[in-house]
Structure 1
Amino acid sequence: MSSETATMTVANAPSHRASRLDRFLMQGGIVITFLVVAVVATALIEPRFLNRLNLLNVMRNFALLLIPSLAQMLVMTAGGFDLSVGAVVAATSVVTAAVMLVGSIYFPGMELALIIASLVIALGVGALVGLVNAGLVSIFSLSPFMVTLAMMSVLMGIALYFTQGIPIYGVVDSFVANVGRGQFLSLPLVLWVALGVLAACIIMQRFTALGRHIYAVGSDQRSARLSGVATSRTLIAAYMLAGLLAALTGFLMTSRLGSGQSTIGGTLALETIAAAVIGGVSLRGGVGRAELVALAALFLSVIANAMNLVQVDSKYQTLVLGAVLIVALAIERLLLRKRQA
């Protein structure tokens, strides 16, 4: 090797290392780094973090954040937002408990039928909300931000009026025991449900026409329409799927709480957007991977658990979540500039 060639090789080495680092960060390295640092730091600061019961609690919280985060990911990838996701969770929690309460009076002893009926009705409510959101966004060309913000206000108002802020009890015992607290292969049942939803989202994104169309609509709706993509139907599908996943979350949260509550999900819109952005979903649409959103949801669950273990006040927990979101937005902007450079 000539001296000139050797000099060029040495000079290019830092740039190669920099390019590898850039690729790592752009392909999900940020969320992986965040997660590893959070787990290691929490385990060192608070040894109780690695306690089995605490880890089970983290898994349940992760599952109940992952499902609505995937809902948010679908809508954001299609170029929109869904600020109503938390309100759908609260409304369907109330619906689930109300159906079981009324049903147990008229159909005593039919617990399995009541659980299935409440799930079907809750999913129907979620799908209807998603359909209305999508119709207002796609047909009337209204802002997704404003539409879902208004829907959030409507749903929260209805839920609070119906319950008067009082939890609805009467949830069947087997629902709480087998779903909310149930385990399969030593892992919470709700975690298995969340992982099943995650697998379905990954398959949809990578191997189905709907997944490709959601990416296309989010990247450039006009170009997608000119390419033959049914943009309105794609948006309707994305918002309805988001509504279904939010409703499923409300159903599962009811099983864990043992009651229907109109006050849950108040910060869920912020949390799901944070999970999506930290997981690499672009605010401009067209970019998003379900597996990275799952890692981001796990990261946020670990952070929340760590703050609970060290007894950080709940008001400061919201502050930390906002700070993490700001950092994630700043990193997304830097990576966007690198891609465009």
Structure 2
Amino acid sequence: MSTALTAAEPRGTIGLRAIAGRIGFLPGLLLLLVAGMSAVDPQFYGIINILNILRNASLLAIVACGQALVIVAGGFDLSVGAVVALASVVTAKTMAATAAAFPGNVVLVIASGVAAGLGCGVVVGLVNGFCVAKLKVSGFVVTLGTMSATAGVGLMITNGIPVYGMPDIFVKSFGRAQAFGLPTAVHVALIVIILMVFAQRRTLFGRYVYAIGGNVDAAVVSGVSIQRHIVGTYVVSSVLAALTGILLTAQVGSGQASFGGDRMMLQSIAAAVIGGVSLRGGVGRVELVAISALFLTILGNALNLLHVDSRLQPVFLGVIMVAAVALDELIRRRRGRV
């Protein structure tokens, strides 16, 4: 067991040192963006805009943390956006049906809806993980297929019509509520990030994920259960995506099959890559991914305030992502020459 861990951990440590320049300037770039927008548009530092930024960044950070875990293990999860949408409509449908069957039992209604939404994430994650770990199918192909299937199921359930009928306490007292001046989604995201940091640094699961992504052959020789841990990464990713769908449902007050989509998937991958997660696996920290999610959210908000054409905004995301990947490859090659 020690062989895989010692093989993976130094690589992660060296990788963090090697990309320190990229990660180090990210907070500075974030501060520069905030300062610039504050000077250009006073609406930027308005309390409503700040709360919207924090809420949206929190939702993206939750999905991106799960995506980062899969990438660290050497995989990809393209289905996260579709899982967000499916969890949303299933949660809303379940709550509406339970409320009709058991009127007045708010606790049962909310519990059943949340359980059903998270259950969707578990099922999709198990399917993804089983196909990748057991059947040895490419994670890119598998999650591309489940993305299409999951999105289709969500549309079939709703016929493209928003689903209502959720308890007011779920929407007003949870989804739209604030605690200590911050939206509920921010508190949930902080809990998720803390748990993910703990899992990465203090648990065998986190160490084994680094070992698998860093050197899968060494991990196999050391007796690491490759299949079980790969399945675990996909389940965590899908469950976090489902949690995001539930939070969006509570915030908007309806379940919608239009939530998530390709944009959430692309942004989650971009947040992971810009946050220092290597596409080759074995390197990455979720706390840096969370900072990257905040940066991308503020950038999108700034483009909206500057009235940049919405058709051009994905160009900025694409350029930044390509630059991050290119920089990661350049650093890897320079490290290989040392």
TM-score w.r.t. the length of structure 1 is 0.91
2:90 is aligned, of 84, 88, 95, to 95
Residue in 2 that maps onto 1:220: 215
Does the 8 Å contact 1:90/1:265 carry over to 2?
yes
In the alignment, the residues of structure 1 paired with residue 114 and residue 129 of structure 2 have an alpha-carbon distance, to the nearest angstrom, of 22
Q: Give the C-alpha shift of residue 121 in structure 1.
A: 1.3
Name the % identity.
45
1:299 is aligned, of 285, 289, 295, to 295
1:238 is aligned, of 208, 229, 233, to 233
Residue in 1 that maps onto 2:108: 113
In the alignment, the residues of structure 1 paired with residue 109 and residue 183 of structure 2 have an alpha-carbon distance, to the nearest angstrom, of 22
1:177 is aligned, of 168, 172, 181, to 172
Does the 8 Å contact 1:31/1:292 carry over to 2?
no
In the alignment, the residues of structure 2 paired with residue 54 and residue 189 of structure 1 have an alpha-carbon distance, to the nearest angstrom, of 16
Cα gap change, 1:23 to 1:305, in 2 (>3 Å):
closer
Q: Runs (4+) of structure 1 moved beyond 4 Å?
A: none
Deviates more, 1:149-158 or 1:116-125: 116-125
Does the 8 Å contact 2:81/2:259 carry over to 1?
yes
- C-alpha distance after superposition, 1:64-104 (max 9, x if no partner): 10100001001001100000000000000000110111111
In the alignment, the residues of structure 1 paired with residue 145 and residue 285 of structure 2 have an alpha-carbon distance, to the nearest angstrom, of 28
In the alignment, the residues of structure 2 paired with residue 275 and residue 308 of structure 1 have an alpha-carbon distance, to the nearest angstrom, of 19
In the alignment, the residues of structure 2 paired with residue 24 and residue 138 of structure 1 have an alpha-carbon distance, to the nearest angstrom, of 32
The alignment partner of 2:311 has SS state of helix
Does the 8 Å contact 1:77/1:288 carry over to 2?
yes
Residue in 2 that maps onto 1:65: 60
Residue in 1 that maps onto 2:310: 314
Q: Partner letter of residue 284 of structure 2?
A: G
Residue in 1 that maps onto 2:334: 338
- C-alpha distance after superposition, 1:273-296 (max 9, x if no partner): 000000000001111101100000
Q: Give the C-alpha shift of residue 41 in structure 1.
A: 2.1
How many aligned residue pairs are there?
320
Q: Give the C-alpha shift of residue 120 in structure 1.
A: 1.1
In the alignment, the residues of structure 2 paired with residue 312 and residue 98 of structure 1 have an alpha-carbon distance, to the nearest angstrom, of 37
In the alignment, the residues of structure 2 paired with residue 312 and residue 256 of structure 1 have an alpha-carbon distance, to the nearest angstrom, of 26
TM-score w.r.t. the length of structure 2 is 0.91
The alignment partner of 1:169 has SS state of coil
**Unaligned runs of at least 5 residues, structure 1:** 1-20
Residue in 1 that maps onto 2:286: 290
Residue in 1 that maps onto 2:202: 207
**Unaligned runs of at least 5 residues, structure 2:** 1-16
In the alignment, the residues of structure 2 paired with residue 69 and residue 128 of structure 1 have an alpha-carbon distance, to the nearest angstrom, of 19
Q: Partner letter of residue 267 of structure 2?
A: E
1:165 aligns with 2:148: no
The alignment partner of 1:153 has SS state of helix
1:34 aligns with 2:7: no
In the alignment, the residues of structure 2 paired with residue 205 and residue 213 of structure 1 have an alpha-carbon distance, to the nearest angstrom, of 9
In the alignment, the residues of structure 2 paired with residue 278 and residue 167 of structure 1 have an alpha-carbon distance, to the nearest angstrom, of 34
In the alignment, the residues of structure 2 paired with residue 295 and residue 303 of structure 1 have an alpha-carbon distance, to the nearest angstrom, of 12
Does the 8 Å contact 1:281/1:288 carry over to 2?
yes
